[in-house]
Each structure stands twice: as structure tokens, then as C-alpha cells.
Amino acid sequence: MTLITKPGIYDMPERDYHADPCPAPSLSNSVARVLLDESPMHARHAHPRLNADRAETEVTETMRMGTALHSLLLGKGARVIEVKFDDYRKGAAKEVKDAAEESGLVPLLSKNFDAIHKVSECALAQMRAHPDLGEFFGPGQSEAVIAWQEDGIWCRGMVDRLPADLSAPAFDLKGTMLSASPTQWDRRMVSAYRTQDRFYARGLRAIEGRWRPAMRFIIVEMKAPYAISVMTPAPSLQELATVDVERAIAGWKSCMQSGEWPGYPHTAHIEAPAWLLRAHEEQQMRDDALEFAQ
């Protein structure tokens, strides 16, 4: 396993990164999201170094297709192999899949193996023609692992594509079986990926000594017609995300120092939502009308 000894940019297998090779249990963006959206208790439970008994996520064929797409578009990562069966119901097919995963490969059924190569071919053609993605294809590093320290704690991230040009943005790839339309993805970007840009930006600034432009997210449809969209957080979203990242770092530091990982912190008072108040008003109007009719 590749070990991180000092802040910097590293090249290592994805498995080593996800196992957390930092000198002390480190904060990643995904764990920061758990800490912010759930609680420190949940963040500890999700961390590979702080919970050795955590259950492994069951990997689906769609997830394997997403991993394969990353490898094909980035030219780096686990090799994709074809499982020459129609499904995994036969024992032989399952044996091939399990052996491939054990060896760090990405197995895909024949139909999905062919499909993901078609996706990557179409996506790359669109990406090369996109006016805001030229720097993606310039000199740089794919799956660049960054590690840095914030006020005594370790943080880490894996950047899908990090251009060598310090004035260029970092890039993140996301595959979807749904629409890649920004009007469909805006809520997901806000809820699930809001902190990623600012978290990685802090790490790159700590390592490189300057701020890069906001990250560009490339969303790729893994179904015909294989359209892509490109999104980047506006200043208003960056501002809110900065506050969230600072909260996550402060919370992680407090828990690491105290050894205490609290759950949900307070009693929640649930207000009646507008739709429920409106429904009650409408029901009261119906009741009043019925009483008047009688």
C-alpha cells in the first residue's frame, strides 16, 4: 500500500486511496458530507480507518459501468474486461466476475462492455469539441491524489483530472443513467456535490500556493444519445460551500482531538409545512361549505 508521508500530489491505486494512506485518519469530501448531512457518529462509521467493521457497499453493474467510464475517459484506472455472458445467473459468469474484481479489474457483461465503449467514444468526441474542456486534454495527471493538513488534521481527495497548468480548473467526471441536463442536475449538484469544489480547492491551494478556477463537472449520459453537460459552481454556491467545508473541518478536528463522535445533537422542532397548512385550510373550507348546505 502506498503511504502518504507529507502534503502533496500522489499517484496511487484507487484501493490505496480509499483505504486512507495518510499518517492519521483523514477527512475526505465524502466523509465531510456525511458529517454535515448526518452526524459525526455517522462520519466515524463511514471512515475506513475508524470503523474496521463497516460493511462494504454492494457493487452493481451500473456502478461498474461508471467505474469503467472513468477508466476509458481518463486513460487510467482499473482495466475493463468483458464477461462473455448475457447475465450473472450462471455460476461460470459469477466466477469470472468475482475473480476479476478480486484482481482489481472491472468486469462487465458483453452488452454493457460494448455499450460503455460506445458511451466513451461519443463522450470524448463531444468533450474535445467543447469550448470549456480544452484543458482536460492538456498535460496533467488523472486520478491525482491530493493530501494536505488543515489546522493539525489531515485531509485528502482524488481529482479525476488535474491539469499541470495551475491556472486551469480541476475536472470531475460523473456518469448517469438518467438525463445529464443541468436543469435535472442542479438540485443534485447542490445537495450531493456542493462541497467538492471548495474542499478540493482548499487542498490544491495548500499544495500549489494559489487558487485554481472553480472545478468543472462533466456529466455523461450512459444511455443514447450519450449527451454530456458541463457545470461549474457559481460564486453564490461557492460561498455557501466554503462555510460548509469550514464547518466540516472544525467538526472533524474537534472529534479527532476529543475522541467523541456525537450523533444528532438536539431535539428537532418540526414546523407544519406550507402544503399541510394549505391542505387543512382547504379541508376546513369544504367542511364549512358542507355544513352551510345542510
pLDDT given at position 294: 64
Which segment of 3-12, 172-181, 209-218, 260-269 scores lowest on mean pLDDT?
260-269
pLDDT given at position 77: 86
Q: Provide φ and ψ at 20, rounded to 5°.
A: 70, 90
Task: Spell 61-92 as b/e; 16+ CB within 10 A means b.
Answer: beebbbbbbbbbbbebbbebbbbebeebeeee
- What is the pTM assigned to this prediction? 0.89
3-state secondary structure of 172: strand
Mean pLDDT, residues 147-165 taken together:
97
The rounded distance, in Å, linking the Cα atoms of 29 and 43 is 11
pLDDT given at position 289: 77
pLDDT given at position 256: 97
- Residue extents of the structural domains in the chain: 8-57+130-293, 61-129
Mean pLDDT, residues 281-292 taken together:
82
The answer on pLDDT for 183 being more than 80 is yes
Q: Considering the chain, what is the average pLDDT of its residues?
A: 93
Which segment of 4-8, 77-81, 227-231 scores lowest on mean pLDDT?
77-81
The answer on pLDDT for 122 being more than 90 is yes
pLDDT given at position 181: 96
pLDDT given at position 90: 83
Q: Which three cell numbers stand for residue 277?
A: 397548512
Residue 239 burial (CB count, 10 A): 11
pLDDT given at position 18: 93
Q: Which CATH architecture has domain 8-57+130-293?
A: Alpha-Beta Complex (3.90)
Q: Which residue has the higher pLDDT, 22 or 53?
A: 22
